[in-house]
Homo-oligomer: A and B are copies of this chain.
């Protein structure tokens, strides 16, 4: 029985799990991402999170056959130097080297967290058995990953899957990337909330202006909240239609906080997809929410090591 350590580094939380080759999650741990500008403090928190997962699985680091890690981008791949947009403490932080050193593991694979999500959804989630899959996460940013021809598609520099920067409206809002009308500029959680606030929506007293509150307001009948979520959904639908035409996909899995907003998000998504994906092969693409939202990222990270033929890559020297 092989055991690998799966690690997920995000702007909100750090998570770790021990996963065995029969796909069981044996031990897992999760902590909020510390609000620090100290790179070492953050790494120590991650090490403690990993240690807790190992304890939970009753496993010693020496029993582990490798580490797979998904981390917020951008990342230098396959070197595993990370500069997560939402984690300012790490800029070109050598996460792969540090994990190798800390846990004395020869095999450590670090990739974008949205790529880990795609691997997890393909391996064990809503995309099981598909030859061609796009996973999209609609959250603080909009990210994605691709499985093409049954294997993870990395692209030239490991950056394939940036569906958040597919242009859905060239006259649309400016994007953090410097472009205009990118999917992320229209449909990310913060941009969806911002649009609702600009339209006059306000969270209830004491509530935070976030995607969850916005979805609750929309469900309760707030038209401005609903309109902003609809715009987010239709943006995703348009980008999915473009992706379906370009790649001839079997399935798109939509995950992330905003994907849990219910009909206000999903119906406009479907409508925009149907309006733009008219060629039969594109229209046939299945669109589904994640069925394993809490596990996909960790399972995908584990798959980097446990199933290298499909989800792995040659490590740097």
Q: Is A279 touching B162 in the complex (CB atoms < 8 A)?
A: yes
Q: Is B279 touching A177 in the complex (CB atoms < 8 A)?
A: yes
Q: Is B279 touching A167 in the complex (CB atoms < 8 A)?
A: no
Report if A159-B279 is in contact (Cβ < 8 Å); known contacts: A241-B167, A248-B154: yes
At the interface with chain B, which of A24-32, A145-153, A301-309?
Answer: A145-153
Contact with B along A270-306 (1 / 0, CB 8 A): 0010011111011010000000000000000000000
Question: In the complex, A272 Cα to B163 Cα: how many Å?
Answer: 18
Q: Is B167 touching A249 in the complex (CB atoms < 8 A)?
A: no
Report if A149-B153 is in contact (Cβ < 8 Å); known contacts: A178-B278, A179-B278: yes
Which residues on B sit within 8 Å (CB–CB) of A281? Answer: 155-157, 159
Question: In the complex, A160 Cα to B155 Cα: how many Å?
Answer: 16
**Interface range on chain A (Cβ under 8 Å from partner):** 35 or more
Which residues on B sit within 8 Å (CB–CB) of A168? Answer: 167, 170
Q: Is B282 touching A162 in the complex (CB atoms < 8 A)?
A: yes
Q: Is A277 touching B179 in the complex (CB atoms < 8 A)?
A: yes
Q: Is B246 touching A166 in the complex (CB atoms < 8 A)?
A: yes
Q: Is A282 touching B160 in the complex (CB atoms < 8 A)?
A: no
Question: In the complex, A131 Cα to B156 Cα: how many Å?
Answer: 7
Say how far A196's CB is from chain B's closest CB, in angstroms.
Answer: 21
Question: In the complex, A148 Cα to B151 Cα: how many Å?
Answer: 11
Q: List 27 A-B contacts (CB under 8 A).
A: A149-B151, A154-B248, A155-B247, A155-B248, A156-B248, A156-B249, A157-B284, A158-B248, A159-B248, A159-B279, A160-B247, A160-B248, A163-B245, A164-B245, A165-B279, A166-B242, A170-B238, A170-B272, A170-B276, A175-B278, A177-B279, A178-B278, A179-B277, A180-B275, A180-B276, A182-B276, A242-B242
